[in-house]
Amino acid sequence: MRTTFSTAAGRFRAYGHEVTLEILGLEINAFVYFFEDASITKNVLGRNGWLNRIRLGIVDHDSLIYLSSYND
């Protein structure tokens, strides 16, 4: 899916692809976008993605990571 994005640095075109991410047994469907112009080397981070769909807990002292679906 071809889309044009506008940022503070300007506009660019990208192609979106639906992917399924699997993180420690949790499957999350997401759209990822790739720049139309391969010479662009910057990263653009959106507001919606896999991170807002999980609960993540880190206990550094015990070297533990807790991960679950946000709805669990």
Instruction: Tell me the pLDDT of the chain averaged across its residues.
Output: 85
Q: What is the domain extent for residue 47? A: 2-69
Q: Please tell me the pTM assigned to this model.
A: 0.57
12 versus 50: the higher-pLDDT residue is 12
Tokens describing residue 3: 């889309």
Give how many domains the chain has, as a whole number: 1
| Amino acid at residue number 22 | E
CA distance 41 to 50: 23
Query: In this structure, are residues 50 and 21 in contact, taking their beta carbons and an 8 Å threshold?
Result: yes
Asked whether residue 15 carries a pLDDT value surpassing 70, the answer given is yes
**Residue bearing tokens 């993180």:** 23
Backbone torsion region of residue 48, taken as left when φ is above 0, otherwise alpha when ψ lies between -120 and 50, otherwise beta: beta
As a whole-number percent, the residues of the chain with pLDDT over 70 amount to: 93
Asked whether residue 25 carries a pLDDT value surpassing 70, the answer given is yes
Per-residue pLDDT averaged across 29-51, rounded? 80
